[in-house]
Chains A and B, each alone.
Chain A
Amino acid sequence: MIRYILTRLARAILTILLVMTFAFVVLRLSGDPAQILLGPDAPQDAIDTFRARWGLDDPLWRQYLAYLGQILRGDFGTSMRDGSAAITLVLERVPATLALTVPALILKLGIGIPAGVYAALHRESLADRGVIMASIFGFTIPSFVLGLLLVLVFAITFDLLPAGGQDSWRHAVLPIVTMSIGGIGILARFSRSAMIEVLGQPYIRTAMAKGLPWRDVVWKHALPNAAVPIVTLVGFMVGSLIAGAIVVESIFSWPGVGRLIVVSVANRDLAVVQCLLLVIAATMVIANLLVDFAYGLLDPRLRSGRPAH
C-alpha cells in the first residue's frame, strides 16, 4: 500500500512539473507580452523597459530556472497587468467557479448514475431507450449551443431567468444546467454499460442462486462492483471542477476562473496564466490521486500495487 501511494505521488509531481514546463515554453514562444500589454503604438523604450523589468531578455533557460526557484519559494509571480500577486487573482476567482461546478457535479452524479443504473436494470424497456436517447443528446450537443439555446428559451422568449451576470442564485441556474447536461449524459451512458457488464458476471448468478432477494443482489453485489469503473469518470469530473467552466463562464459572463483564463491568455499575462495552469493541473492530479485511492478501497485486487485497470 505504501509503495502504491509513493509511486502515484511521484507520478503526480512529475505530471505537474511537465505541465509547468510546457506552459512556460509555449507561452514564451507565442507572442511578446510587452507588445500585447503596451499596445501596438507603444514607444520602443517603454517596451525595452518593460522587457527588462520582467526579465524577458534573459535566455529561456535562465528565465525557467528563475521561475522554478520562485515556485519553490512559494512565489507564484505577479500579474504584468496590475502588479498584484497572480495566486491572489486566481484564488479570488475560484469560489465563483465552484459555485457553478460543484452544483453541476452534484447534478451529474445525482441524475446520471441513478438513470444509468435504472436503465441497466430495466434493459430494453421504454425507460432504458429513453435514457439512451437522452444521454446521446446530452453528450453530443456542444455546451455553447446548449447555452445559447437555453438563453433563447428561458431568458429571451419566456423571460424566466437572467441571461448573464452573477447577482443572485437565479443567475446561476442556466450556467449550471448548461454545464451538467453533458456530464449527466456521459455518466448515465457509462453507468449503464458498467452495470450491464457487472450484471452478466458469474458472481451475480451466484448471488441469485444463493436465494438473495433481487434488491440485495443489486445493492450488495452489483453496485459495489460497478462502482469501480464509474469512479474513474467521476474522478475526471472532480478534476475539472476548476477548469471545466471556461465556455459556460464566457457565454454567461460569469466572473470565474474560466473568464480569467480567457482574459489572461489574450493579454499574455504570463505569471497569471502559469499560475492558473498550475492550479488546474494540481486539481486534476489530486483528483487522480483520490481516484487511485478510491480504487484501492473499492477493489481489493488493486491494493497490491498493480496498476489500476
Chain B
Amino acid sequence: MSFVSIRDLRVSFSGVQVLHGIDLEISKGEALGLVGESGCGKSVTWLAALGLLPGKATVSGSVMLEGTELIGTPRRRIEAVRGARIAMIFQDPSSSLNPVQRVGRQICESLALHRGLRGGVARAEAIRLLDLVGIPSAATRMNLYPHEFSGGQCQRIMIAMALAGEPDLLIADEPTTALDATIQAQILDLLGRLRRQTGMAMVFISHDLGAVSAVCDRAAVMYAGRIVEQGEIGPLFRTPRHPYTRGLFDALPDLDADRRRLVPIEGTVPDPKALPGGCAFAPRCTRASALCHSDRPGLKPQAGGGRLACFHPVPLPQRAEVYA
C-alpha cells in the first residue's frame, strides 16, 4: 500500500479552480519529483494536503496517509500529521524562519512538540541536527537569529527543523530555487544523503530537471493544475512522451551535446480563469489536432509503466536518444 495516496484533489481560490483532480501515490522511502512551470499547482497540491492553504481556498478530493483521510479532518488531527509524519520545507528559506526568534529555539520547539525533548537534552539534539545538516559550530550559532545566516544556511536550518520530527515524508518545495548554483548542489547533496541515512520518502518540487533526475526515483510533470505525464526517471527522461515534457527538455541548455539549439516552449501558461476547452497545453503544442482543442485526454497507464495524458504523444524513437 502507498504511504500517501492522493485522489482527485481539486483546489479553487475564490471560485477560480487551480487544481483539476490530481492523482498521485508515494510509497515509503521513495523520492518523487514534481516538475512544471511556475503556477501549475505544485505547491498548492501539498499545501492542500497538509491543510496549509488560506481560508479562501476550497479543497475537495482525498489525501490518504496510510489509510487515514487528511482532507476535511479536524484541525487537531492534521496538526498531529504535520511535522511528525509529513514535514515540509519551502522555497524562500530566509523568510521561512521566524525573524525574532533564535534558530536554536525554533528547532527546540519542534523537538519538544514531536519528541518531548526539553532543556539540555533538546539543546544537544538541536546541535546534533545542525551538525548533521552542515552548520559549523552549531553550539554557539544556534543562539543567532535567522538574519545572521545566509540563504543556504537558513535552508539547512529549515531541513534540521524538518528532521526534528523524524518525518516519514519530506516535501521539499523548490528548496534551492532562491539559492545560487554551488549552494544548490550542496543542498541537493545534503537532501540525498539524509534520505539514504533516514530512509524517509521525499517529494522534490522543482523547475530544475537536472536536480530532479539526481535526487528522485520517479517524477510527475504538471501542467495547468493537472498531471500530464509521470513515470520512472530513466524512461521519462530518455523518452518523454508528452509534448510538454519533451518541450521542458528541449528548453534546457545542454553542456554535453554540442550545438543543440535551445528550443523554448512557445506561448505562455494559460490563465487559470480561462483554461482552453480541450487539453490545456493544446494552444502551445506543435502536435495538437482538432481533437486536442475539443476533448481532454485522461491520464492513462502506459505500456512502459508510466502514465500519460496525450492524444498524440511524441513517438518512441527507434534508437533511444539520451537527454538526461
Give the B-binding residues of A (Cβ under 8 A): 123-124, 201-203, 205-214, 220-221, 224-225, 228, 298-301
A300–B144 CA distance with the chains assembled, in angstroms: 9
Give, as a whole number of angstroms, the nearest-CB distance from B323 to chain A.
Answer: 34
Q: B245 an interface residue at 8 Å Cβ cutoff?
A: no
Give, as a whole number of angstroms, the nearest-CB distance from A1 to chain B.
Answer: 14
Q: B259 an interface residue at 8 Å Cβ cutoff?
A: no
A208–B54 CA distance with the chains assembled, in angstroms: 12
Which residues does chain B contribute within 8 Å of A124, judged by CB atoms? Answer: 55
11 contacts between A and B (CB under 8 A): A202-B96, A205-B52, A206-B96, A209-B83, A209-B90, A210-B83, A210-B113, A211-B79, A211-B83, A300-B145, A301-B99
A270–B166 CA distance with the chains assembled, in angstroms: 73
A221–B47 CA distance with the chains assembled, in angstroms: 19
Cβ-closest 3 pairs across A and B:
A211-B83, A211-B82, A300-B145
Which residues does chain B contribute within 8 Å of A299, judged by CB atoms? Answer: 99-100
B100-A209 in contact (CB<8A): no
A208-B96 in contact (CB<8A): no
Assess A212 versus B113: contact at CB under 8 Å? Given A123-B55, A202-B90.
yes
A98–B79 CA distance with the chains assembled, in angstroms: 47
Which residues does chain A contribute within 8 Å of B97, judged by CB atoms? Answer: 203, 206
CB nearest to A122 among chain B residues: B55
B100-A298 in contact (CB<8A): yes
A209–B83 CA distance with the chains assembled, in angstroms: 6
A214–B84 CA distance with the chains assembled, in angstroms: 16
Q: Which of A124, A205, A214, A298 has the most CB of B within 10 A?
A: A205
A301–B144 CA distance with the chains assembled, in angstroms: 11
Kindly list 6 other residue pairs between chains A and B, CB separation below 8 angstroms, not including A212-B83, A224-B101: A201-B95, A203-B99, A208-B82, A210-B87, A211-B80, A300-B145
A270–B55 CA distance with the chains assembled, in angstroms: 60
Give the interface size bracket for B toward A. 20 to 34
Give the A-binding residues of B (Cβ under 8 A): 47, 50, 52, 55, 75-76, 79-84, 87-88, 90, 92, 95-101, 109-110, 113-114, 145, 147, 158, 161, 165
Give, as a whole number of angstroms, the nearest-CB distance from A241 to chain B.
Answer: 28
Which residues does chain B contribute within 8 Å of A202, judged by CB atoms? Answer: 90, 92, 95-96
Which residues does chain B contribute within 8 Å of A225, judged by CB atoms? Answer: 98-100
Which residues does chain A contribute within 8 Å of B101, judged by CB atoms? Answer: 220-221, 224
Which residues does chain B contribute within 8 Å of A210, judged by CB atoms? Answer: 82-83, 87, 109-110, 113, 161, 165
CB nearest to A205 among chain B residues: B52
Q: Which of A224, A298, A300 has the most CB of B within 10 A?
A: A300
A221–B100 CA distance with the chains assembled, in angstroms: 8
Q: Which of A201, A203, A299, A301 has the most CB of B within 10 A?
A: A203
Give, as a whole number of angstroms, the nearest-CB distance from A253 to chain B.
Answer: 46
A113–B39 CA distance with the chains assembled, in angstroms: 37
Q: Which of B47, B83, B95, B100 has the most CB of A within 10 A?
A: B100
B96-A205 in contact (CB<8A): yes
A299–B102 CA distance with the chains assembled, in angstroms: 11
Assess A203 versus B50: contact at CB under 8 Å? Given A210-B82, A210-B110.
no
A205–B88 CA distance with the chains assembled, in angstroms: 10
Q: Which of A205, A210, A214 has the most CB of B within 10 A?
A: A210
A39–B79 CA distance with the chains assembled, in angstroms: 78
Assess A211 versus B81: contact at CB under 8 Å? Given A224-B101, A300-B145.
yes
Which residues does chain A contribute within 8 Å of B99, judged by CB atoms? Answer: 203, 225, 299-301
A211–B115 CA distance with the chains assembled, in angstroms: 12
Which residues does chain A contribute within 8 Å of B92, judged by CB atoms? Answer: 202
CB nearest to B47 among chain A residues: A205
CB nearest to B92 among chain A residues: A202
CB nearest to B83 among chain A residues: A211
CB nearest to A213 among chain B residues: B79
A124–B99 CA distance with the chains assembled, in angstroms: 28
A209-B82 in contact (CB<8A): yes
CB nearest to B55 among chain A residues: A123
Which residues does chain A contribute within 8 Å of B50, judged by CB atoms? Answer: 209
Which residues does chain A contribute within 8 Å of B82, judged by CB atoms? Answer: 208-211
Which residues does chain A contribute within 8 Å of B145, judged by CB atoms? Answer: 300-301
A206–B169 CA distance with the chains assembled, in angstroms: 16
A124–B14 CA distance with the chains assembled, in angstroms: 13
A203–B114 CA distance with the chains assembled, in angstroms: 19
A209-B87 in contact (CB<8A): yes
Give, as a whole number of angstroms, the nearest-CB distance from B232 to chain A.
Answer: 29
Give, as a whole number of angstroms, the nearest-CB distance from B229 to chain A.
Answer: 28
Q: Which of A202, A225, A228 has the most CB of B within 10 A?
A: A202
CB nearest to A225 among chain B residues: B100
A301-B113 in contact (CB<8A): no
B52-A212 in contact (CB<8A): no
CB nearest to A300 among chain B residues: B145
A206-B113 in contact (CB<8A): no
A225–B100 CA distance with the chains assembled, in angstroms: 7
Assess A206 versus B98: contact at CB under 8 Å? Given A211-B113, A300-B145.
yes
Q: Which of B88, B99, B147, B165 has the most CB of A within 10 A?
A: B99
Assess A206 versus B90: contact at CB under 8 Å? Given A225-B98, A299-B100, A301-B99.
yes
B52-A221 in contact (CB<8A): no
A202–B151 CA distance with the chains assembled, in angstroms: 14
From the candidates A205, A211, A212, A301, name the one contacting B147 in the complex (CB within 8 A).
Answer: A301
